[in-house]
Structure 1
Amino acid sequence: MNGLRIVSSGTGPAVLWVHGYTMDLTLWRPLWELLPGWRHIGVDLPGHGGSEPLRPGTTLPTLALRLAEIAEAERADRVVGLSFGSSVALQMALEAPELVRNLVLAAPTLGGAPPDPAARRRYMELMMVRRAGGGREQMAELWMSSPPDIFRGTEAHPELRARLRAVIGGHSWAELDSGAMAALSAHRHPPEDLTRIRASTMVIIGDSDMPTFVTNAETLRQTVPGCDIRTIPNSGHLPLLEQPEMSAKAVFAGLTLSERVDRV
């Protein structure tokens, strides 16, 4: 459907999962196994995994609407997003508020927020290496090295790091060749937009995440009505992957947040 690879697992209320940049839906499976009783819908973003390439000129609202179509077709009124995927999930709640009931944002990424300086430098390095003919293995090695600390937390989890390395090693990096990431990165999430979010919102942050994302979490807490924050101990930028057992409890709380509120 829609040129995007979609995989469904389990039975129960449907949840749409949106992965981070250079990742794919296969990385969700350990967390899905810890969350029985739900129908998990994984989608590969354009240019990732088994999906079609990212088209130049694609904006964040356009991408969010494509995923909203999938959510509607799958009857998934709950959305989980990690890192860049959290930005897409957030935009889904803005573009289709009638569809998104519960929103879980891990390592929250806000359009227009000041970027992590080291991450910005690394992105520029990636573009230069790619233009110089850098291959997938070289690009993956550069992308996963620290600083920035995007993947530092995975160093304590060799099996996870190996799975990430295999996925990122297969990434095409075509979005750098075409410049297609520019339009996505240009979108902004001003406070007046965030105050319009009506989904029950849970933010999940690693206790060792980069300061930029800690600030983003606090911004969401202050602007999104009723937003809750959970901090995952001993984790960095990818808490859902680094600490799936502890993260599963926080995700479950986010997926059932409105239900708990309704019963009070």
Structure 2
Amino acid sequence: MLDGGTGRPVLFVHGGPNAATTWTGLAGRLAGFRCLAVDRPGCGLSEPLKYDGLDIGRAMVDVQTAVLDSLGFDRVDLVGSSFGGACVLWLAQAQPDRVGRIVLEGAPAIEGMRLAMNLRTLAIGPLGRFIARRRASRGMLRMTFRQIGHGALIRRGWPEGADLGWGLAMMNDTDTMRHEVDLIQHVATWRGFRHGLLFDPAGLARIAAPTRWLWGERDPFSRVEQGRRWAASMSAGTFESFADAGHLPWLDHPAVHAARIAAFLGAEVPAPA
């Protein structure tokens, strides 16, 4: 887990295949908060789960609760992305007293979302396992992020520097890909997600926590209109979309997203230039 800053605690939960380090460019801009970015089970350096027979939603609630208990926090704000978005929604539904406010970055893993091409190939048994064993390169990372809507970011030369270094290290020096392929093949086939394994959209109406949806208009997992409907189904949901942004929209506009999150959670950061 990455732990930085002081102030109001915020727990960040990533999607996949990914790790906690994906949040550093965003969390590092959030002055006035204690930012806690956790590696989901099987990602980064964390231990994996065995998914056969497992209630994934319940397991993700237990993981997040264990993190909060270990740190002594009764209540935190949550930021989730993709499958991490489903994780924070499961927690808010199961233990509302432990959740302050929620920010959802990009389409969360909600029943009805589409399967993007990069995950569709990983969902094919032997092919997915073969891809998980391959050594990643900058070109492979660029192709993957282009497939999830980040073409504009790629055209600006991303990834480079620290972003490139940690991305390659995660892919090549940890078992993240192998473990995440296990999860993907449990919840999806090449045709799409299996029914009943993602967050049930009917549960959105039962979540009282104020929730801010920040959506990339080039997100291939769900259309903007679907995101607006999901947000509107919540008692305290608000929605904003960003042009030329993909499934992980803070990567495209980190300063803008930091300002939006800080304002929503009750603090300020300098306005982006």
Q: Is the structural similarity TM-score above 0.5? A: yes
Q: What corresponds to 1:89 in structure 2?
A: 88
Q: Compute the displacement of 1:109 (Å).
A: 1.8
Q: Count matched residues.
A: 251
Q: What 5-or-longer segments of structure 2 have no aligned partner?
A: 268-273
Which of 247, 252, 256 is 1:242 aligned to?
Answer: 252
Name the % identity.
Answer: 23
Q: Compute the displacement of 1:138 (Å).
A: 5.3
Asked whether the 8 Å contact 2:116–2:220 carries over to 1, the reply is no
Note the 1:97-246 alignment, pairs <5 A.
97-116=96-115, 118-119=117-118, 121-125=120-124, 127-132=125-130, 135-137=133-135, 145=143, 148-155=147-154, 156=156, 157-159=158-160, 162=164, 163-172=166-175, 173-175=177-179, 178=182, 182=186, 186-210=196-220, 212-246=222-256
Q: Please, which moves more after superposition, 220-229 or 40-49?
A: 220-229
Residue 253 of structure 2 corresponds to residue 256 of structure 1 = no
Residue 31 of structure 2 corresponds to residue 36 of structure 1 = yes
Question: Cα deviation per residue 1:55-108 (whole Å; 9 max; x = unaligned)?
Answer: 223412211222023234432510001122111111111111111110000112
- TM-score (ref. length: structure 1): 0.81
* Change beyond 3 A, Cα 1:179–1:251: closer
Which of 48, 66, 70 is 2:67 aligned to?
Answer: 70
Asked whether the 8 Å contact 2:17–2:180 carries over to 1, the reply is no
Structure 1: how far apart are the matches of 2:8 and 2:79?
Answer: 13
Asked whether the 8 Å contact 1:194–1:224 carries over to 2, the reply is yes
Structure 1: how far apart are the matches of 2:238 and 2:217?
Answer: 15
Asked whether the 8 Å contact 1:202–1:254 carries over to 2, the reply is yes
- RMSD between aligned residues: 3.0
Secondary structure at 2:11 match in 1: strand
Q: Compute the displacement of 1:26 (Å).
A: 1.9
Asked whether the 8 Å contact 2:221–2:247 carries over to 1, the reply is no
* Change beyond 3 A, Cα 1:139–1:223: farther
Residue 15 of structure 2 corresponds to residue 16 of structure 1 = no
Secondary structure at 1:81 match in 2: strand
- TM-score (ref. length: structure 2): 0.78
Q: What corresponds to 2:79 in structure 1?
A: 80
Structure 2: how far apart are the matches of 1:250 and 1:133?
Answer: 36
Question: Cα deviation per residue 1:99-150 (whole Å; 9 max; x = unaligned)?
Answer: 111000011223321413535533335x432445862425996675256325
Asked whether the 8 Å contact 2:132–2:181 carries over to 1, the reply is no
Asked whether the 8 Å contact 2:11–2:35 carries over to 1, the reply is yes
Asked whether the 8 Å contact 1:153–1:237 carries over to 2, the reply is no
Q: Please, which moves more after superposition, 116-125 or 44-53?
A: 116-125
